[in-house]
Structure 1
């Protein structure tokens, strides 16, 4: 489903989620068993209909699940795993994997693709440690980014940097629903390779960050030993289905005479032939009045109702395709349906054959769970395990991270009803306690041959020729000679040890021996268990919240940034500290050098999703503050490519060229800045100053000498750009991102709500005008994405957000431009 919800979850609010919907409410789905509720259809349709906009428009946060710290930790685990598989053991035995075939690393629910990109960046940094193999491209792995929503996969695939990696043969893409039939193959979109279940020569790796919390679950409780399963009724309030500020028929988008839907306006996304489906069901399509800011008005559409505003239960075909508005208004009413052990076992076995025994031993037989506590059973996660096991032939390692429970105690401490987080769609806590036990039970035995899960045999035994035998060939040889396969290795389950905190992580392995996992498990313990992602998040959130910006020392901000692996979002939190504290007047040369190196690492790891966080622009400001105009110029050029043309960005590029003594180019950029905003006073001043500099520089020169001087300056600037450019920056970033996603400074309205900051007295002192470069100030503010509750109203959403671009520099006077470009 994508990297879904990085947020704090809340217990069901009785006022917001009443136990029983009012008779006046519109029933979307009558009371049903939780795992069979239409809620899960809404979940899946939400991601299909919203697609990439779930992240581009900040409907779904992503920072906790996809950041540089997590990617670096995963990359270290992956490199260790690859080394153990492909390098020759010290005892002289052959490699444990087939060096002519890659290890497929499959990310489930890639969503926006940021985590996959960061993992690739980290693997690139660790390239010296990655073994070389006899594969076509000499790399021992292929990272496959997958998602259930094809639009998400296409959006990832379209990015220039992903295309670059795909051409290298180390990245591929696929549409994959992890909960579907295990026998289905996976078709890779770039290479055309088909991954048939059980036919991989080498073990596989699966990554599932923030996927489990949005997969189907079952809710159970055991009251004095008697089981009950949770039921759910879905409804929406009547007022959420109508626009009471306009004529009802008009607001519903229907022709008052015929009752048929009118043509959708630009930006709406109605269901194709929905009108016919609605007519047959006695339902008409309407446009709902929005209470919560999950998506823009043009993206909300199609709330279905009967003429009497009462829908006792909609057919599957009548669900609106654009479910964003429906998901934001759902009322969840919980209930309990008593059952018996036999029926419960049958219910659970439909999802996984060993799930009934696991639930029985973990919860039904545990007297602590006889107090009617709700237990979420990850039935979708169980099906995901089956898919991983079948696709890999039983030999795999799974890295998963989510908000959830890792032991019985935290489940017992939870509230009576399941915790629900609401962000355009809904998410629940992941039950790693149950999932790990289920994995241990299922992975303890070798998969049966056939049925999409072929018998898997470890490849650490040499053939007669003394060479490692691929899994498929090994199976055939064993069958023809009557040879018995090696004993099946015991399953491995590692997890974060902290019970407190929101984010938990696990490493689950099946069919892999101790030698296959020795280094990988050690890296997991050192990078994830001993210093968890939740610890890092608490650190940078705590410093940001508790230490005033004016008192935050540079060394504290840099320490937090480096502990977070130079993550761009963490950098963005402390950007003003770096700009103010890294200037030559207050920072040593060594400190400035370190800050520039950190900023360069930040820019290399920046995966642009929305322009309201223009990380490249802020990196440019930091580099300019430290007088590194070459790096600053490159960063501002990246900002323009990613976020669109803005007068301040052009102005800052002009400043960089000025101090690189490329005066003609500086003059051109100042004039271009004035074309965008003619009233921009800073560029007006610098046009005059630059023209004077050109006149002074060329005084007494012949035309030929002037031409030679210009060529020399141009070559120097090009050399600076090449020197400071991150590797493959042009290939890795998509210049069309702003236009494609309709985001960028020019779309903020007027002058974009931006302001420019200038230092006082810099000219009089004769110093280089450090702050003659502008700073963006967005009228739009963007939240720090950690545990933000996006279920609040507009006012609540925008309250307490991180200041975007309007903070003054030290001693800076901020002036707002009232005129648009």
Structure 2
């Protein structure tokens, strides 16, 4: 029995991120000016406060509506690579029998947003820990952000509850721009400087690009600050379109060598002035201060993992033009990872970068402090799971394959899903091709389709998007003749998205195919009660808000 409904057209992927404009104006001072008093350091501009207001008022909607890009830093491939590096980091410290007693290793995710990355990371980390000599090692993952609405969302999210019950997840209101201690919402304790018994891992994906930067220009060896004006209009982050009101302009002027109160920052600026040709560059002042506070919190035992667009070496900073604010509801800037790495190195730490140019995202590790035996396992894991073939490569392969799903075989599509570490986004995008091919598969291959898709479904973390993935996967299982599997997904759709006549009708027809007449009649009657015009064998639900025709 075939119960097939139309599959929704795929949502377009976000275009490649633009970094900086390639042109360097001959004289930045000659840019069109605005009223006196509006020019100020980039890090002190009103745009940052409006940015905070945007995220505060949008909450998780900033991501669920697709306004702010996040897939490239919230996917299973990245989560598993990070988990591998963290396991290596822990093994380095445990190898030297460090103390700590029963206190857990803490992992602090900054700017955790929807919580999706944390969910995928915890799934990967728990699996790897169980398969390693660290199976009994205590740890606690901390989802943190500066806005309370995100914490409320995480605390009520059913997918996170099993981690809370296992004692491996807590929550904290933490502002990366100013906080130096972490107050755990569930444990009721505060992580304070010099009181942590074990090293800390911090995760910052798409965070450093969205907190205050400064901008500088080097002209004939002389360092200039790039003052910024947003056009003089009042900015209101409550308006989701606020960034469209920003008219960014830069003008430069020479600066005193003692620009910052931090001597290390000034030394780094002086190094750029002497080494860069005529160029502009961004300076992650908020990120550097955040890392300094985290170092003090941990007694200089810190691993930071960060994924973002930006620059990792001095060569890539040569000849850059005026900074470009990339708008997407909020805005972001390319991250000068080279400056962060140089600052970490100046404090006695080290930076790990990818070994070849990255096409979409840079993944970096910053290490301060070290166990007596060094970071053998951590660096090996970073090399194997990030440098040699990492999440950026996985993303690039997936993007290249997107245009060819229809010509790929079922076996090839399943291989792609496995390669992406069971990515539900890839399953969603492959659904039209799988729907066309699965009926022709033999029983063994259909079973493998169900197995691979179920693993990807287990990585699915709903945040309220339009697409009802469970409903669509249920249709795939129906096409494969796997009605018990289809019931699992249709029931998941009812649980996540509420009662809908199309879903209930398909549940009823699946029961009928399985010989469960009473259950079938009950669901079909309920479907008719919700919509007297529901059409057998063509149930269709375009999105959560609309009803079937």
TM-score (norm 1): 0.61
Mapped to 2, the partners of 1:187 and 1:592 lie a distance apart of 49
- TM-aligned CA deviation for residue 56 of structure 1: 2.1
Contact 2:311 2:317 in 1 (8 A): yes
Deviations 1:678-724 (A, max 9, x none): 112216xxxxxxxxxxxxxxxxxxxxxxxxxxxxxxxxxxxxxxxxx
**Structure 1 position 669 matched with structure 2 position 540:** no
Distance 1:34 1:392, change over 3 A: same
Which of residues 247, 251, 264 in structure 2 aligns to 1:331?
A: 247
Deviations 1:501-533 (A, max 9, x none): 130011111111363532222111111111232
- TM-aligned CA deviation for residue 123 of structure 1: 2.1
Mapped to 1, the partners of 2:185 and 2:508 lie a distance apart of 43
Deviations 1:556-593 (A, max 9, x none): 2222211110111111111112222222xx21333222
Partner of 1:153: 151
Which of residues 64, 69, 72 in structure 2 aligns to 1:61?
A: 69
Secondary structure of the residue aligned to 1:652 is helix
Contact 2:76 2:459 in 1 (8 A): yes
Structural mapping, 1:620-659, within 5 Å: 620-659=474-513
Which of residues 356, 364, 367 in structure 1 aligns to 2:273?
A: 364
Secondary structure of the residue aligned to 1:681 is coil
Partner of 2:282: 376
Partner of 1:212: 208
Partner of 1:420: 325
- TM-aligned CA deviation for residue 498 of structure 1: 2.1
Contact 2:93 2:371 in 1 (8 A): no
Distance 1:13 1:330, change over 3 A: farther
Structure label with greater radius of gyration: 1
Contact 1:42 1:323 in 2 (8 A): no
Contact 1:620 1:636 in 2 (8 A): yes
- TM-aligned CA deviation for residue 323 of structure 1: 4.4
Query: Structure 1 stretch 226-235 or stretch 643-652: which is displaced more?
Result: 643-652
Distance 1:22 1:390, change over 3 A: closer
Structural mapping, 1:527-538, within 5 Å: 527-538=385-396
Mapped to 1, the partners of 2:81 and 2:407 lie a distance apart of 31
Distance 1:65 1:582, change over 3 A: same
Distance 1:623 1:434, change over 3 A: same
Contact 1:616 1:635 in 2 (8 A): yes
Deviations 1:341-363 (A, max 9, x none): xx2x432x33x4411112222x1
Partner of 2:163: 165
Contact 2:311 2:337 in 1 (8 A): yes
Distance 1:421 1:514, change over 3 A: farther
The structure showing larger relative contact order (alpha-carbon pairs under 8 Å, at least 6 residues apart) is 2
What is the count of residue pairs matched by the alignment?
530
Mapped to 2, the partners of 1:678 and 1:313 lie a distance apart of 53
TM-score (norm 2): 0.90
Mapped to 1, the partners of 2:448 and 2:372 lie a distance apart of 41
Partner of 2:175: 177
Which of residues 104, 107, 110 in structure 2 aligns to 1:108?
A: 110
Mapped to 1, the partners of 2:507 and 2:36 lie a distance apart of 55
Deviations 1:610-664 (A, max 9, x none): 3422222222223222222222211111111112222221122112212221111
Partner of 1:267: none
Distance 1:320 1:126, change over 3 A: same
User: Over aligned residue pairs, what C-alpha RMSD do you find?
Assistant: 2.6
Distance 1:56 1:403, change over 3 A: same
Which of residues 512, 515, 529 in structure 1 aligns to 2:373?
A: 515
Structural mapping, 1:685-764, within 5 Å: 756=538
Secondary structure of the residue aligned to 2:309 is strand
Which of residues 418, 424, 431 in structure 2 aligns to 1:562?
A: 418
- Any unmatched runs of 5+ in structure 1? 236-311, 445-490, 684-755, 757-773, 781-817
Partner of 1:595: 449
- Any unmatched runs of 5+ in structure 2? 1-13, 24-29
Mapped to 2, the partners of 1:637 and 1:514 lie a distance apart of 53
Secondary structure of the residue aligned to 1:8 is coil
